[in-house]
Amino acid sequence: MKVVIIGGNDCMVCHYQAICKKYGCKAKVFTQPKSNLDRLIGNPELIVLFTHPISHEMVAVAKKKASRKNILLVQSHSGSGAALRNILASASHGEV
């Protein structure tokens, strides 16, 4: 499964990618605003949006992309590894 993580903490990027790898997912992580974020997101099966440490513009881009392309979007206020594991576990069981 292709996953895009938007938001979270800069120091957790490698940890996010390692967690995704354990769940058999390929992950792109964007913790900082990018001018071409819409294009960089691509066409994943899941967008994880960590809403606490994120700009409003990044939230708007992610929601618009998910709505336009019918991509599953899961929001979490916490950008912790445990939050990501719970989201991926739920997504892998079709519970999200």
**What confidence score (pLDDT) does residue 37 get?**
95
Distance CA 63, CA 49 (A): 9
Q: E strands of the chain, at which residues?
A: 2-7, 26-30, 46-50, 72-76
Domains of the chain: 2-92 (3.40.50.11410)
**Max CA pair span of the chain:** 34
**What confidence score (pLDDT) does residue 69 get?**
96
**What confidence score (pLDDT) does residue 21 get?**
97
**What confidence score (pLDDT) does residue 53 get?**
75
**What confidence score (pLDDT) does residue 92 get?**
84
Distance CA 54, CA 2 (A): 21
**What confidence score (pLDDT) does residue 95 get?**
76
**pLDDT string in tens for the chain (96-residue length):** 999 999 999 999 999 999 999 999 999 999 999 999 999 999 999 999 998 878 899 999 999 999 999 999 999 999 999 999 999 999 988 776
